[in-house]
Amino acid sequence: MRAVADSAPWYWDAERLAAAYRSGETDPVEVTELFLTRIAEIDPSFNSYRLATAPRARADAEAARRRLRAGAPLGPLDGIPIALKDLIDTAGIETTYGSRILCGRIPAANAAVARRLRSAGTVLLGKLHLLEFAMGSITGNAYFGPCRNPWNRDHFSGGSSTGSGSAVAAGMVLGALGTDTSGSIRQPAAWCGVVGLKPTNGSINLAGIFPLSPTCDTVGPLARTVADAALLLDAIADHPAGISQAARPRSLAGIKIGVPETWVAQSVTDQVADAYEKALGVLDGLGADLLPVEPGFIEDEVTRTYQSIVLYEAANAHRAWYPERAADYAPYLRGNIEAGRRVSKEGYAAAIERRGSWRERTALALADVAAVVTPTQPTEAPQLNCDIAQVAGQAVSSLAIRGRFTMPWSVVGWPALSLPGGYSRSGLPIGIQFAAPPGAESQLFAIAASFEGAAPHGMPHPVP
């Protein structure tokens, strides 16, 4: 698919947009109308939005324009268009969690992160599609339909934050929030060619977000640039630490970055491997010390630990509707909940204990590096309803391996960020992931911003 430069206002970053507001080149009302028109015109091709909230967006934009004209903006996000995954409660606006069961549900209160973004002056353009209850497969949402990848409409956008990735990539919003329990922000970020962060577990208030797994769930930003993702993180974090100030390119001289060569080599397609090698070259050129590491966890055992915890917690979260309304669940989700119902309390407690052990072992194994770099996904974005990829000469299930590089960091609680790392021969984005110890988001954003600034492929955008 062709790509366009940043001349179109819907592809401006927050800094460029804020400068245009200050100069009078444009204002939040004009920009909001531009985005609402764009959503109406192109989203039928992608199915990113569950609904556009035009009345709310216009009211938000008018309020932002008044503040800007009075010289009293609320901050760097005042008047900036955003959208929210439809797992996040919004007062007075339908929130379905991606399920037919909850069509027509109107929350009385905003989720904590929605409230914080509103306090920052953002303009809410709408609610974004997701896989059903934030669980699903590459078939998309059985009730609301698949969300298509802006780089190639025949391919999946990633999940479970399907609409968050595609809307940001296609220029239908500047930034969005998604949720991530094993990769649900990072996968769509990788496959749609944008930036996505899973923060440190427990660092952001999840109140008002329907749980998949309360002890593994996180909420975080997706944006087209590292700097914009950092601004969004600063706005929603429980304890803002000036992350956006760290998200600036710099030399990485003396920064030790772990390279798990064996883990990656046996797990990826040829084109992902090529992009990864080029990414390592970029990091080397920035002066980083690239050190071979073993991550400290055994993949199969971490996977079993994850499944016991997440499926057990998910089954508990769905007791209000399951099994009484089992027929209203898609088969894939039904299977996961049934599996969770089979996990005993003793099995769950043992998995929680094992998770603590994996966290200790990972911290010890990676104590000498500032971050670890891997591909975000083992494969490029698969075709919708096509689950087969070629990895190391073998036909494998994309669904079965999609969490290979993302899920372990969710288990051990580390923050992890995906950003564009190149493109396949057919023009599909390939993501590179950096993970760092808990609480090290500033370090993570500094490394990511440096990589972004030096990556030779630039930052093109798909043309719908």
CB atoms within 10 A of CB 453: 13
Residues 90 and 127: beta-carbon distance below 8 Å: yes
What does DSSP assign to residue 275?
A: H
Give the tokens for residue 443: 């370090």
Which amino acid, one-letter code, is at 188?
P
121 — phi, psi (to 5°)? 90, 10
- What are the tokens at 273? 């491997």
The CA dihedral of 273, 274, 280, 285, to the nearest 10 degrees, is 180
Q: What are the residues facing 291 on neighbouring strands?
A: 258
Question: CA neighbours within 13 Å on the CB side: how many for 173?
Answer: 33
Beta strand pairing status for 256-259 and 289-292? parallel
- Pairwise CA distance, residues 447 & 74, whole Å: 28
What is d(CA 175, CA 120) in angstroms, rounded to the nearest whole number?
14
Nearest to 190 by CA among 463, 424, 3, 442: 424
Six token digits for residue 294: 């073993």
- CA pair distance 170, 41, nearest whole angstrom: 12
Task: Answer for the pair 135, 166: CB distance below 8 angstroms, yes or no.
Answer: no
User: Rounded to whole angstroms, what are the CA distances from 444 to 64, 244, 395, 448?
Assistant: 31, 11, 34, 6
Query: In the structure encoding, which two tokens stand for residue 33, read together?
Result: 């109308």
Which residues is 179 bridged to in the sheet?
219
> Helix, strand, coil: what percent of the chain each, to 5?
40, 20, 40
The residues that are catalytic are 85, 160, 184
Strand order in the sheet with 123-128: 49-52, 123-128, 81-85, 175-180, 218-223, 195-198, 416-423, 429-435, 371-375, 256-259, 289-292
Decide if 219 contacts 204 (C-beta within 8 A): yes
Distance, in Å, from the CA atom of 292 to the CA atom of 260, rounded to the nearest integer, reads: 6
The helix/strand/coil state of 317 is: helix
